[in-house]
Amino acid sequence: MRRADAEALGIHLPVLPTIVLGGLPGDPTWAAELHAIGLDVVCSGALADTPETFAAAVAAAGGRPVKAIAGSVEDLVFAGARLIQYDGGPVPGAYVVDDHERAVAVVDGASPEIEDPNTVARRVVDAVADVPPSQLWVTCTPGLHMLPADTARAKLRALCESAFQARMAIAKIQFELE
């Protein structure tokens, strides 16, 4: 993650930001719920956003950054999308989240099993040994859209709890080093 690039576009992210890559089950009306669950970057939940699904997500996001999944990149940028999941290269005026991002995929989106946040937090802390935490996204693997909505919600809660625990553990380690 090139935090300076994101900040230049007005996208402000915490260390180890949580984000969903891919779609979510059901209708693309997830933004308010993702905000309530605690994701740092919310989305509509669509497999491919339109200007309308993106605008609805922004309206429901509670001020959090909103990520769009590229359908028509030009239309999404025109609609105000500044954070776009897209594998087609750079997009003028937007920060692209793609396969080259440094992500710690700690939740298995294809499995119905709910991860233990303590175990997942340990994996995040271990990843920080190799990459500075300011350069990592905390996410899940694709596939949540294939799971029941209640399972997806529980997995996203585990994702957010694990990122919180990892941030606290990393802060403790840094404090003890000083």
The pair of structure tokens assigned to 107 is 């939740």
Host domain of residue 124: 3-177
Start-to-end CA distance of the chain, whole Å, equals: 26
What is the rounded CA–CA span in Å between residue 74 and residue 63? 23
CA distance 153 to 70: 23
List pLDDT tens digits, range 37-89. Answer: 999 999 999 999 999 999 999 999 999 999 999 989 999 999 999 999 998 88
Q: What are residue 40's phi and psi, to 5 degrees? A: -75, -35
How many structural domains comprise the chain? 1
pLDDT tens digits for range 109-163: 999 999 999 999 999 999 988 888 888 999 998 899 999 999 999 999 999 999 9
pTM score, two decimals? 0.91
Distance of alpha carbon 49 from alpha carbon 159, whole angstroms: 23
Supply the CATH number for residue 50's domain.
3.20.20.210
126 and 119 in contact (C-beta within 8 Å)? Answer: no
For the cut 70, the answer to whether the pLDDT of residue 1 exceeds it is no
CB 114 within 8 A of CB 154: yes
Q: Is the per-residue pLDDT at 177 higher than 90? A: no
How many angstroms from the chain centroid is the CA of residue 69?
A: 12
